[in-house]
Amino acid sequence: MIVDLPPALLLIAGALVVPFLRGPLRAAWMVGVAVAALVNFVGVEHGTHWQVGVFGYTLELGRVDKLGYLFGLLFHIAALLAVIYSLHVKDTVQQVAALAYAGSAIGAVTAGDWITLFVWWELLALTSVFLVWAGRSEKTYAAGVRYLLVNIASGLLLLAGILFRTNDGGSLSIEPMLLGDTASVLIFLAIGIKCAFPLAHGWVIDAYPRATPTGTVFLSAFTTKAAVYLLARVFPGAEPLIWIGLVMASFPIFYAVIENDLRRVLSYSMINQVGFMVVGIGIGTPLAIDGAVAHAFADVIFKGLLFMAMGAVLMRTGTANGTDLGGLYKSMPWTTGFCLVGAASISAFPLFSAFVTKSMILSAALAEHHYLVWWVLLFASAGVLEHAGIKIPYFAFFAHDSGKRPKEAPWNMLVAMAIGSVLCIVIGSFPSLLYGLLPYEPMLHGHAYTPYDATHVVTQMQLLLFAILAVWWLMKAGIYPPEERKINLDVDRLYRALARGFWWIVTVPLAHLGKAIDSAVLERIPARVVAFAGFAHAEERAHRGWVTGASVLIALILLVGYLLVYYLSG
Amino acid sequence: MHSNDHTPPPNDDGTRHFFDDPVKTRWFFRIFFVLCAVALAFDVLDLIGVGYHKETHLGAEKVPGFYGIYGFAGIVALVIVAKGLRKVVARDEAYDDR
């Protein structure tokens, strides 16, 4: 290592300097910081570093083992690519937030104790929300607030879990735990929110498509993958994860077929890919865990690449809607080519990255006789090809010519996409490079796992080619649903409806109730008592009566909820 | 996936982009269909025991062309169910502005 500092602090410190620099100097600084942090991290020795004693607790600011190193390395690479991709951006808020966000993610995957993790966990939310707000419209502001609420809620659940754990005499050190007691359930739910478990996934599809073109590239890399890391660290082999992961891998592919906003398609695609990882962690065998984290590594790069391509399209044309795009390959050939590499990688074509990572999860499922899991994941694999492999590049760059002839993406975007493409092909073509970094040596039936055998290549090509054939036939037969200028209801809108309902309850019936209590009880208390108790004047009270009444009631509900949890767990 | 029902006029310099050229498009799809046939042919080799042996774990995998059939049928089912889903969940873009 170059400097004796916890790795996360390098990027954070670098972020704090950004506002004081201008123009090319700032750009050079951002790339320099990202490169220096990467070089520094590569040299960090495995082990526990930077232990600090606070109030009798030992905080481990840097624990680097194989799992932490893999994710740390991945996050450094992702940060560098995203920084290069966003070099043209002249927005201090975004630049500071992006570097600090990447630093927080690195902090989370190198934290050795729960307190340190909690701090990084909340910083992940606080830093990244500015990438959503940077859209600077009413819609992005509202989406950012929703994003923040959900992610902070995850942090509060985590904190509650940590408190329950220490209260029960549990250690602060982050170790695997069995899912069962209150502490473990709370921590599981906290991770689940950031991991976009079904029903908790609304924030991903709500906020990611609304962030800036460059912001989404950062967002797609860190939060959900930090959650995957923590699941692999704390809950390997927890069976519910298999079923949760299966739902995640399958339901988004249906939404992806009919979604018009291509960045929202990619957000569904992200949930689908994280689903594969969650299944792998749930299966819990060394091969399955290896598959899950290797797939996380591959996914950050190919999903980043796809978000980069769509970000370039959005920047150049002002839209990412399938209905308004098409034919862009004519004027954006490089972006098209890089997008196709990302599409081939996520679809798991031989020589491309997911071919050597996702297959470990499917092989592990078969080896453990999880046959239903295998059938569903194989179906989901075909579904990935449909939405990310075909739909994304097809509707953006080919399909019917939209007549748009935007300029090719700026050079810095092309450089970032080129590096991402090379990484996708290197991982897919030389898998031993990645396999050497995995927590376990990938083994299947007592032999080293080999992705490249004749059967795997032939069966995978058959699956993919005939899935493409099916799309071709469905389009030719007029069955394939055309893109429509529509939005699709999902839980994000359900939550917003519930929130509106809650607001109505507070502002209408509860407000009336508050006023009724005021006039029936409070205003009849003799004036002397009122004066003695120091109550406000009657007209002032009537003015804010409903606010007080409602907040007392909310506090009461929270208190009752807390007591319930406390007694049920006791 | 490109229908050849319309052929855009050539560029000013007389060239055509790849998929605007019916000849190139036709070749593109010919090559694609040949690849599909080749992928299927391996299962024939497996069946007659020449040059390729399919390693299988499940009975279903032994069916010749299983992966091709599953991929094709999976996508058709996916798209048809998704069309049904659209009927239930699709709303006008103005829905958010209510």
pLDDT of residue A492: 84
Where b means 16+ CB within 10 Å and e means fewer, A44-64 reads beeebbbeeeeeeeebbbbbb
**A536 pLDDT more than 70:** no
Domain boundaries, chain A: 236-490, 508-569
Question: CA angle, B80 as apex, B77 and B83 as ends, to 5°?
Answer: 145
Q: What residues pair up with A54 in beta bridges, in sequence order? A: A57
Band of pLDDT at residue A88, cut at 50, 70 and 90: very high
pLDDT of residue A514: 87
Cβ–Cβ gap A470/B18 under 8 Å: no
pLDDT of residue A559: 74
Quick one: what percent of chain A has pLDDT higher than 90?
76
Q: Measure in Å the smallest separation between the Cα of A348 and chain B Cα atoms.
A: 13
Give me the interface pTM, i.e. the ipTM: 0.89
- 3-class SS of residue A50: strand
pLDDT of residue A239: 96
Dump pLDDT digits (tens) for A475-507.
999 999 988 899 999 888 888 888 888 888 888
Q: Which residue has the higher pLDDT, A275 or A54?
A: A275
pLDDT of residue B1: 46
Q: Which of A140, A146, A254, A493 to mutate to test the interface with B (most CBs of B within 10 A)?
A: A254
Q: Which of A368, A462, A473, A476 to mutate to test the interface with B (most CBs of B within 10 A)?
A: A462
Cβ–Cβ gap A466/B39 under 8 Å: yes
Check if A371 contacts B (Cβ < 8 Å): yes
Task: Give the span between the Cα atoms of A280 and A300, in whole angstroms.
Answer: 17
Cβ–Cβ gap A476/B42 under 8 Å: no
For chain A, helix, strand, coil in percent to 5 are 75, 5, 20
**A530 pLDDT more than 70:** no
Answer yes or no: are the C-beta atoms of B64 and B44 closer than 8 Å. yes
* Rounded average pLDDT over A204-210: 94
> Cβ contacts (< 8 Å) between B94 and chain A: which residues?
none
> Cβ contacts (< 8 Å) between A386 and chain B: which residues?
75, 78-79
Q: Which of A465, A469, A504 to mutate to test the interface with B (most CBs of B within 10 A)?
A: A465
Within 10 angstroms of residue A509's Cβ, the number of other Cβ atoms is 10
Dump pLDDT digits (tens) for A367-387.
999 999 999 999 999 999 999
Q: Which residue has the higher pLDDT, A291 or A52?
A: A291
Dump pLDDT digits (tens) for A426-445.
999 999 999 999 999 999 98
Query: B54: nearest CA in chain A?
Result: A455
Nearest to A61 by CA among A75, A46, A53, A49: A49
Q: Measure in Å the smallest separation between the Cα of B92 and chain A Cα atoms.
A: 5
Task: Give the span between the Cα atoms of A501 and A101, in whole angstroms.
Answer: 33
Domain boundaries, chain B: 1-54, 57-98
H helix runs in A111-181, sequence order: 114-133, 138-167
Nearest to A120 by CA among A101, A102, A107, A131: A107
Answer yes or no: are the C-beta atoms of A88 and A412 closer than 8 Å. yes
> Cβ contacts (< 8 Å) between B57 and chain A: which residues?
366
Helix (H) or strand (E) holding A250: helix A240-258
Query: Among all chains, which residue has been given the structure tokens 């695997």?
Result: A176
Cβ–Cβ gap B1/A394 under 8 Å: yes
Task: Give the span between the Cα atoms of A495 and A395, in whole angstroms.
Answer: 30
Q: Which amino acid is at A499?
A: A
Could you tell me whether strands A443-444 and A447-448 are parallel, antiparallel, or unpaired per DSSP bridges? Answer: antiparallel
Answer yes or no: are the C-beta atoms of A261 and A283 closer than 8 Å. no
Answer yes or no: are the C-beta atoms of A269 and A384 closer than 8 Å. yes
Take residue A364 and report the two structure tokens written for it.
């592990």
> Half-sphere exposure (CA, 13 Å, Cβ side) for A344?
20
Quick one: what percent of chain A has pLDDT higher than 70?
93
Helix (H) or strand (E) holding A49: strand A47-54
φ/ψ (deg, to 5) at A443: -125, 145
Answer yes or no: are the C-beta atoms of A353 and A427 closer than 8 Å. yes
Band of pLDDT at residue A215, cut at 50, 70 and 90: very high
Band of pLDDT at residue A515, cut at 50, 70 and 90: confident
Q: What is the largest CA-CA distance in chain B?
A: 66
Q: What is the CA radius of gyration of chain B?
A: 22
Check if A178 contacts B (Cβ < 8 Å): no
**A237 pLDDT more than 50:** yes
Cβ partners under 8 Å of residue A81, min gap 6 = A217, A301, A304, A308, A416, A419, A420
pLDDT of residue A535: 52
Helix (H) or strand (E) holding A63: strand A57-64
Cβ–Cβ gap A455/B54 under 8 Å: yes
**B5 pLDDT more than 50:** no
Query: Mean pLDDT lowest for which of A77-91, A119-133, A495-509, B29-43?
Result: A495-509
Which of residues 13 through 72 in chain B touch A, CB cutoff 8 A? Answer: 17-20, 29, 32, 35-36, 39-40, 42-43, 52-58, 61, 65-72
Task: Give the span between the Cα atoms of A360 and A362, in whole angstroms.
Answer: 6
